[in-house]
Amino acid sequence: MQQLKKLYKQILSDYICNQNESDLYIGQNLIKQMIQKNVSPEDVISIHKQALEEFYGELPETVIHAYDFLIEVMVHYGLKVKEHQSLLVKQEEMRIEMDIAAQIQNQLLENEVPKTKCTDIGMISVPLRKMNGDYVHFKYDSANYLGVAVTDVVGKGVPAALCMSMVKYGLDTLEYANSNPSYVLEVLNQLIEKSVDDSMFVSLFYARYNLHSNIFTWSSAGHEPSLYYNAAEHTFYDLEAKGLLLGILPEVKYSQQELELKENDFIIIMTDGVTDFRKNEGFDAREKIKELALSFQHLNAQEMCNTIYQELLKLQDFKLYDDFTVVIIKKNKLF
């Protein structure tokens, strides 16, 4: 420390006499050495003050007070800088951990959209943050049935992702796509209620589609109602199915309903992140979705999903306020 003080005084003296760039450069390099030696900002100011007192004798009282004030301020400043640097390190560590967790989640929850002869299926799921609180799961036995689950975990981040993994595990244990939707929800509810934290709840819409009879059967656990478009009537219907969120109570029974899909009919399954926007402006999001779906029904299901997402994003000034998930199932003409 004494050697650093001596060097600083010499460099300061040279600069006062010569006032050239080379002395400034030497001073900057000395500061780097001080940082490496953990010399605090207030100590640098104190060294500077002592050097001036040696050069010019006793300083005016007002100047001394000014330096004392600056030293005290720099003590606080130094503490805040250290806190800020520590926070930046923690944030970077958290960012890396979240990146890894998001990659693991994407790998664990990856689910391919099935292709069938009688339906056209599209899906889009865009997370608000790196970890997605929405999840879409398909079951397809290629012969008779198609199953689809659209899930929304109440919560964000890693806890929600872990809960979502539990949902996937539960769906994977149900081997067959022909399971009744009400039964699927009852099994998942028991699993989630026993396995996840009491603060975590899950909304889920589960549907089974019979590829031969074209019967679409659904059940819901507190999920955003899906939309059914009846092409013959040119009318939308809400697919209501009252049911408690998963994970609240251990023994819950869920009802199920069904309808027959006919040529050019389609189903829109979504999470509440699709409809929960511009509420304060008296804006009816569901009516807007219906309007967009009718405008783009000539597109295939995937193009409809992508276009609806882009159009709704425009209405929100290109900002998401929640995870956004839409699944569209269209009944093909030839089947």
pLDDT above 70 for 104: no
144 inside domain: yes
pTM above 0.75, yes or no: no
Is there a single domain that holds both residue 128 and residue 177?
A: yes
Domain boundary among 57, 90, 123: 90
* CATH (domain of 9): 1.10.1240.30
Where is pLDDT greater, at 91 or 329?
Answer: 329
Q: Which domain holds residue 230?
A: 111-331
In the structure, what pLDDT confidence band is assigned to residue 334 with cuts at 50, 70 and 90? low
Query: Are 265 and 142 members of one domain?
Result: yes
Q: Would 236 be classed as within a structural domain?
A: yes
CATH number reported for the structural domain that contains residue 129 in this entry = 3.60.40.10
Q: Residues 198, 320: one domain?
A: yes
- Whether residue 140 sits in one domain with residue 29: no
Q: Contacts by 235-242 with C-beta closer than 8 Å and gap 24+?
A: 236/290, 236/293, 239/267, 241/205
Tell whether 103 is covered by a domain. Answer: no
Domain tally, the chain: 2
Q: Which residue has the higher pLDDT, 223 or 280?
A: 223
Q: Give the pLDDT confidence of 67-87 residue by residue, as tens digits.
A: 788 778 777 877 887 888 888
| CA separation for the pair 135, 204 (Å, rounded) | 9
**Residue 247 domain-assigned?**
yes
Rounded CA gap, 264 and 318, in Å? 31
Confidence (pLDDT) at 70: 75
Residues 146 and 232 in one domain: yes
Q: Do 238 and 189 share a domain, yes or no?
A: yes
- Are 263 and 201 contained in the same domain? yes
Q: How confident is the model at residue 277 (pLDDT cuts 50, 70, 90)?
A: low
Question: Is 85 found in the same domain as 119?
Answer: no
Q: Is residue 304 located within the same domain as residue 261? A: yes
Within 13 Å and on the Cβ side, how many CA atoms surround 290?
16
> Higher confidence at residue 148 or residue 9?
148
68 with 177, same domain: the answer is no
Segment 88-97 shows an average pLDDT of: 82
From residue 104, give the alpha-carbon distance in Å to each of 107, 150, 230.
5, 20, 40
d(CA 152, CA 192): 13
The burial class, CB within 10 Å (0-12 / 13-18 / 19+), for 175 is exposed
Looking at the fold, whether 153 and 242 belong to one and the same domain comes out as yes
* 118 and 82 both lie in a single domain: no
105 in any annotated domain: no
